Structure formats: structure tokens, C-alpha cells
Structure 1
Amino acid sequence: MDKLSFLEVIAAIAVFVSILLAVFLLTVKTERKLENRLFAAFLIINSIDISGLFMHLFVDSYNLKAFKISAYLLVMPLFYLYVNAACYNDFNLKRKHLLHLIPFILANLILVPRLYLAEGAAKEVFFKTMWHSPEMFFYQIIGELQYFFYIIAVFLILIKYKKVYLENYTNSNTLLYKWLSQLTLIFLIIHVCIIVKNIVRYTQDRDLFIWLNIVAGTVFLLSACWFILKALNYPELFRRIDSTLQPTKDFAETLATEDKFDEAKNVQIEQLRNYMVEKEPFLDPSLTIQELADQVEIPVRELSVLINHHINQHFFDFVNEYRVKKAMTILKDPTKKEVTVLEILYEVGFNSKSSFHTYFKKYTNQTPTVFRSN
């Protein structure tokens, strides 16, 4: 099998796997379908893009081939919208999101005179030399500017998501942040391959160009298989946050200027710590800062500043510290020697073995088993 045939096989398998996952996402029963539909659309558009590696075997239309090339400009807008939908439980598509279509529309409009409206030999000649035309130079400029605009926007969303999550939630499942971060890094790697491939396109090194296509296709295939494994192993992957929540630093300074009595803050901190010990709200694995604020009767913003700035801990760490202390007490209780570590971690509010071990070791410098045996 020569390199071109191998490339076509890799691309065909990648398209098949991606379409399979897209169908799964579109048909699986879930509480909120928007993010699944956006990710499915993202996979389908990527499949259309990579199908160009074997499309010539089945399609003769130059218009369809050109449309396939321009479809790449829908990839990053869809990924950006997907990240928003995955992170924020109140995100919905609106008319303003149609603005994300502008680069795609522009790229097709510049091809209208010399491709879509051309006929016969003129169309064939233009298509064969298209990558050296001013139109495609403009297309690549648009593509690169668009890509880096969206990749920066996605990273900013993830940074805010992680900060808000740690400050407002205690569920130790941070799988969403890891999944989206890994996904974004994979796209960066694939895009670097595409940039290098496009540079090599204008040289005479056809073998290197084909090998770079093989690398990009293989990475995409492996990524699609990884998506499948994630979907199967973590069907309830995400925990979203409210987009109206802001990082504490955005309002901490304002509240700080209003706080004139340090002694009052100390009293609040003491009352909060007493409440945590006596009422043990941390036993709820899905405790949020809003729920705790309602229980202790402190405005949620004030409580957020109290914990994140005056106590100098993320809400996430603040609550998990009490969970670890509770676990330490149980582990040292001689009457509970028969209770397993797994049972204890669920009892104190953790919902995964790995996160419990991570926080227990962070707090005690020992594993739960070693701590219990000492």
C-alpha cells in the first residue's frame, strides 16, 4: 500500500469513527442536549474537512470540493459554542451567534466569481491552481486569524470556569475542565500540523506534504477514538456552572472598602467554622457556596470573600479540609475498623477515590491506609 492509499484509509476510518460518535451524541438521552448537538456538529464539520483526503474518489464537483475547504471555518466557532454550552448551564443559542458565520460566508463569497460562477475549462484551471490564488491567500489569512481568536477565547473561558468552580462548588469532579483543556491542546497540536502542512504545500517536497497529511489524519483518528472512550466511560461527564457567577476578585475590592470592622470579620469566620464542625454541611457531596450561604445566613458574595480572601482558601479546598478531618476521625476510631476507606470517603462527602486520596495526602502527607495503621 502506497502512502496516498494509506492516507485515504486513515482519513476514511477517522471520518467513520467521528460520524459514529456524532450519531451517538445526537441520539443519547440526556437532560440537556445543546452541548451534545454542538459537539456532534463540530465532529461532522471536522469529518467533512478531513474527507477531502479521499473525496476525489467519489466526488467530481469542484464546487463541493471548494465548499468542503471553506467548511473548516465553521470548526472553531462550533468548538467555542460547545465549550460555552458545556461550561454554563444557562447558555443558549441566540441570533447574535449567527455572527460566527461571517468568516465562512466571506470565504465562499470571494470564490463566487472565479469558481462557483465559472464554467468548463475556466473552473477546472482555477481549481487546479487555487492554492496559489489571491482568494486562497485571503482564505488562509482569515482562517489563521479566526483560529487564534477562538483558541484564546476558549482558554479564557476555561480559566474563568476553573476559578469560579473552585470558589463556588465542592463536588470534586473537575473532569470537565480537564476534558476541555486536553481537547483544546489536541486541537493546537493538530493545527500546528496543518500550519506546517500548508507551508510545505508551497514547496516541491510532495513526500513531506503527504507525510504531514498522514500525521494530521492519524492524530485526528486517535482523537476521535479518544472521544468515543470518553463518551463510553463518562456518560455524565459535565458539571456546568452559572454564567452569572464571577470570580471573587471581581467584587472583593468593592466589598473590602465597605468592611470597616475587622473584628466583625473575625466573628463571622469563627461562626462559620463552628457551623462547619457542628452541622457538618460538607457531608453533602454537591454542596455549593450558595447553599452554604443560605444555611449560615450570610450573603453569598460576602461569604465568598470571607472564604477566598479572609480565610485565604478556595471554597473547594475549604470544604474538603473539613471532609479530610472528618475522615481522619473515622479512620482513628477503633469501633470503625471494619469500615473500608471507600465507605469512609463517600460518608464524608467525597465522590471519587482519586480525589479523596489526593486531598487526604495533601492535608496529612500520608495515604488513608498508612494514616489508619499508624
Structure 2
Amino acid sequence: MTFYFSVYSSPLLFGFVQGWIYAVLLWVRGRREERLSDLLLGWVLVGLSFNIWEYMLGFGGIEILWRELEFFPRTLGFLFPALCYFYLKSQINADFRFTWQDAWHVVPFLIQVMYHISVFSMGHTFVEYWKAAVHYPYHLEDVEFVVGVGLNVYYLILSMRLYRHYRVWIKTQFSQTETISFRWFRNFLIALTTTMLFSLLMTLLSLGLGLNYWQNWWDELAGVVLIYYVSINGYAQVQPGRRLTFGQLPVLEPVGVTIPLVVDEHKGETALAGIENRQEVTLTQPILTDDLIIWRDTLLVYMDNERPYLDPDLSLIDLARRLRTNASVLSPVINVGTGKNFNDFVNQYRVEAFKRQALDPASQHLSLLGIALDCGFNSKATFNRAFRKLTGQAPREFVESMSG
């Protein structure tokens, strides 16, 4: 068999090879660092590569898939969308491992594979008969297509929901979320959805306009672009410095009533010490028990006196350990007791520390970013976002308004 290089076959070949090279690199790294997410992303790339290899071989003049291997399973099919979903689960939860409860995700793929292998094993003559007498007349090919689209949509929704819940969760657990936000996966979902919609459009155009083999090439080229994007960006995805275990703790988001709360700066009692003499704080239901009220007051005094917010990597678990308690106790204390999630709670202290230091004549030689880093922020983007969210102003606007 000779592969013919052309403007049609070459890009597909390069994409196919790209996908497999990075899949192997991910498998090696995943095995070495015991990271399941790398292993699964490698299989995602294999799935993307198999999605284009039919056209790659066809444009290259190799027709083995349409002759000797007709009806044999050629792609990961119904398994591919589930792989994308579990890749995200393994990224945001380092302790995630497959269990028997996850086996049902493989069932549609196994049914599809068993059907195709059963027909294929009967020989080429039977395959041709089956296609003409059963597969096409009874629209089994159309059923597979519809089920495939349905699974893509289903797992896309699951992935988006999981990602959204994760983004809420990290704000209740970490004071810095930039490096663990996994915006790459959000972009991956967008790219995957765009490619899927384009493929669906090309399929509809092919059915409606009777597009030929060569005109459908653009659909495959979009798959190549997706392979390059996923392989390069997925492999370069910065892994968090700490083990993420999303799903172990409940997410408590502050919603509810607003009541006035008095703050005594000198005694360090109740509310956010050192911010204002009187302010309003949003409390959630249910109201704190007496035990949690004691923990809240202890927390606020500790924040004021020990200033743990100066640690840029401070997390809920770290703070709980310093207070000799656990995160499941401290989480409702912060969310219900202060009306803020952990991220906003800690950043509020950092913002107030920045305000004081920025207005201190002794700090005039420092840049605003330098002051922000001294106050516990770890990047300019995080600082600007937190400052504007909590004050409604940009940092420079605040300094200029106070100086004027």
C-alpha cells in the first residue's frame, strides 16, 4: 500500500500523527506522575485522531477500511464524549478512580462495538448483504448518528455543569483561584462544541446538497485543528501545586438577609476587623448555632491578629489547620457567619491591607502591584479583579481619589 501525499491527505496525516505523539507523551507522563487525567487526555487525543483517519487514508489512496475492514469499528464512537467528561473529573479531583458504578457509561459503546463486530465476523459477503437488507433500509445508521449526537450533548451538559460547580467550590476553598480555575477546559469545551456543530452542519449540507467525498474534507480539517489545539494546550496545562479533591466538602454559598453588624476595631470583635466601624454583612440561613458563633468570633480575632491572609496560597484547609479545627466546621462559619465565600472573605482582608499600605507615606516608593503582593495577592490580574469586585473601583482610581 502506498500513501499519496496531497493537499487533502497531508494535513490529515499531520494531525493524526500529532494526536498520537502527544497521546504517548501524556501516557508516559501520566504513568510517571500517577496522574489519571493525563492518561484520559491521551485517550481523548486517540479518539480525535480516529475521527479523521478514514478520510486520511481515503485521500491517501488506501482503501483497506472500505474493503477488508468494512463494518469493523473504526473510532471510539460512543465512548469519546464520556472520556472528555471523565478527563475533567480526574483533573479537579486527584483522588478520583473508576468504580463499578461508572461502568454504565461504557454500555452504549459496547453495544455499538458488539453490533459491528458481530456483523463483521460473518465475512465480507454477509456484510454487504446486511448493509443492503437491514442496516440501511431500517435506518440503523441514522439511529447510530442520532444516538451519537445525543451522547455528545448529554456529556457536554454534564461537563459544563461539573465545571460550573467546581468554579463555585474553589471560591469556598482557596484564596487564590487563578492557577486552579482550569479555564483551559472551558476553552476545550467551547472548541469541542464548535467543531461538533460544524460537523453537524457539514453532515446536513452533505445530505441536502449531496456533497461528495472531496467537499466533505473541510469537516476533517476542522478535526485536525482541534487535535492541534487539544494536544498542545492540554499537554501544557499547568497542574496545580496542591492535590485538588473537588466533591469532598459541601458548597455553601452566601445568600439571604442583610443585617447591620457593629465592628469594634480595638477589641477585634465580630465581623471583619479593621475595615469600617459599622457595616452591613449578608447572613445566610440557617442562623449560626452558639458553637459556630464562638468559632466565628475566634476566626475574626485570628484574622485580625495573625494576618494569615498574607500567605498567597492560603486555603480553607490551611486556615482550619491553623485554628485547630477542620474545613467542614470552618466552611459554614465563613459562609454563614460573614456572608462571603472563602475567596471573598480572605481577599477582603487583603484589599483592606492594600488600602492602608497604599495610603501610608512610608510605602510611596513601592508600586501598586508591589504593595498588592505584600498584602497576599499573587498576581496583578487576581488583585485587580478582587479589588474591583469588593470596592467597585480600580486600585489606581482608589489611590487617586484618596490622594486628591
- Pick the TM interval, shorter chain: 0.7 to 0.9
Q: In terms of mean alpha carbon deviation, does 152-161 or 63-72 score higher?
A: 63-72
Task: Say which of 358, 372, 386 aligns to 1:359.
Answer: 386
User: Residues 143 and 286 (structure 1 numbering): CA distance in 2 closer, same or farther, change over 3 Å?
Assistant: same
- 3-state SS, counterpart of residue 165 of structure 2: helix
* Residue 88 of structure 1: how far off its partner (Å): 0.6
Matched, 1:202 2:203: no
Q: How many equivalent residue pairs?
A: 363
| AA of the residue aligned to 1:220 | G
SS in 2 for 1:203: helix
- Which amino acid counterpart does residue 33 of structure 1 have in structure 2? R
List aligned pairs for 1:159-174, cutoff 5 A: 159-173=164-178
1:244 aligns with 2:248: yes
CA contact (8 A) 1:77 1:100 kept: yes
Q: CA deviation at 1:232?
A: 6.7
Partners of 2:191 and 2:42 in 1: CA distance: 17
> Does the CA contact (< 8 Å) of 1:357 and 1:368 recur in 2?
yes
Question: How far, CA to CA, are the matches of 2:210 and 2:231 in structure 1?
Answer: 35
Q: Give 1 or 2 for the bigger CA radius of gyration.
A: 2
Q: Contact 2:73–2:116 at 8 Å: present in 1 too?
A: no
How far 1:140 moved relative to its partner? 1.9
Quick check: 1:170–1:320 contact (8 Å CA) kept in 2?
A: yes
- C-alpha separation between the residues in 2 aligned to 1:69 and 1:259? 58
| Aligned residue number for residue 220 of structure 1 | 223
**Cα distance in 1, alignment partners of residues 373 and 138 from structure 2:** 63
Percent of aligned positions with the same letter in both sequences?
19
In 2 relative to 1, CA 273–77 (structure 1 residues): closer, same or farther, beyond 3 Å?
A: same
Alpha carbons of structure 1 residues 224 and 102: separation in structure 2 relative to 1, 3 Å:
same
Indicate the residue corresponding to 1:152 in structure 2.
157
**SS at 1:91 equivalent:** coil
Measured after TM superposition, the shift of residue 234 of structure 1 is 4.2
Aligned to 1:285: 312
| Cα deviation, residue 169, structure 1 | 1.6
Alignment check: 8 A CA contact 1:89 1:243 kept: no
Letter in 2 for 1:52: E
Note if contact 1:70-1:107 (Cα within 8 Å) is conserved in structure 2: no
1:303 aligns with 2:307: no
Inter-CA distance 192–24: structure 2 relative to 1 (3 Å threshold): same
For the 8 Å contact 2:348–2:390, the answer to whether it is kept is yes
Quote the offset at 1:38 in angstroms: 0.5
Q: Any unmatched runs of 5+ in structure 2?
A: 257-283
When residues 96 and 269 of structure 1 are mapped into structure 2, their CA distance, relative to the original with a 3 A threshold, is closer
Alpha carbons 2:170, 2:177 under 8 Å: kept:
no
Change over 3 Å in CA distance of 1:115–1:36 after alignment to 2: same
AA aligned to 1:362 is K
Instruction: Give me the whole-angstrom Cα distance separating, in 1, the residues matched to 2:12 and 2:131.
Output: 22
CA distance, structure 2, for counterparts of residue 158 and residue 186 of structure 1: 15
For residues 64-106 of structure 1, the C-alpha deviation after alignment (integer angstroms, 9 at most, x for no partner) is: 4644545222211211111110011210233444433221221
List per-residue Cα deviations over 1:17-72 (Å, max 9, x = no partner): 32232233233477442101110111012101111211233351446464454522
TM-score scaled by structure 2? Answer: 0.77
Alpha carbons of structure 1 residues 340 and 228: separation in structure 2 relative to 1, 3 Å: farther
Aligned to 1:21: 22
**2:331 paired with 1:328:** no
Find 2:191's aligned residue among 166, 186, 194: 186
Is there any run of 5+ residues in structure 1 with no aligned partner, and where?
A: none
Q: Distance in 1 between matches of 2:394 and 2:54?
A: 52
Superposed, which structure 2 residues align to 1:1-374 within 5 Å?
Answer: 6-28=7-29, 31-56=33-58, 57-62=61-66, 64=69, 66-120=71-125, 122-124=126-128, 134-173=139-178, 176-206=181-211, 211=215, 213-214=217-218, 216-231=219-234, 234-236=237-239, 240-248=244-252, 259=288, 268-297=295-324, 300-372=327-399, 374=403
**1:70, 1:117 → 2: CA distance?**
20
CA distance in structure 2 between the aligned counterparts of 1:307 and 1:318, rounded to whole angstroms:
7
CA apart distance, 1:283: 1.6
1-structure distance, mates of 2:102, 2:361: 60
Query: How far apart, CA to CA, are the structure 2 residues paired with 1:118 and 1:232?
Result: 41
